[in-house]
Amino acid sequence: MSFLSTRIHFVWSTARREPLIRREWQPRLHGYIRGILENLKVKPFVIGGIEDHIHVYCNLPATITIAELASKMKSNSTGFVRETLDSRFGWQDGYAAFTMSKSADEDVINYVLKQEEHHRRRSFQEELIAMLDKFGIEYDPRYVFL
């Protein structure tokens, strides 16, 4: 038997950071991603975002890697949105993923749920750079938002 607690906060943008995620269909998109996670035996804690990006906070079981999970969420949700909501839809190529402690659950969940409020003061680009800096992740600013 394996026992682990691996919490991951994923963040990624729409292609070219275009505001493609319409408010009225966000619940369907978030619900679809929740279904993807549950089918993979991943426990979603919260899913949220605004028009140009998404946050997914979940556990990571021993049966899947971070890269595999990000790929499945992004590719499957792209297909769903293109078939049912907006044929122009796409995600950026990359993603950010941050490991979190259980003690951070409440803060991360509140942060994700308050994205609209948060982004009245700070853009997605500023938000992501701040997260990368906070976690000590090296990056080349020329390539962060391709």
pLDDT in tens, 101-138: 999 999 999 999 999 888 888 888 889 899 999 999 99
The pTM assigned to this predicted structure is: 0.92
**Fold designation for 7-134:** Alpha-Beta Plaits (3.30.70)
Higher pLDDT, 1 or 96: 96
Per-domain boundaries in the chain: 7-134
What is d(CA 101, CA 110) in angstroms, rounded to the nearest whole number? 15
From its phi and psi, is residue 136 left (phi > 0), alpha (psi between -120 and 50) or beta? left
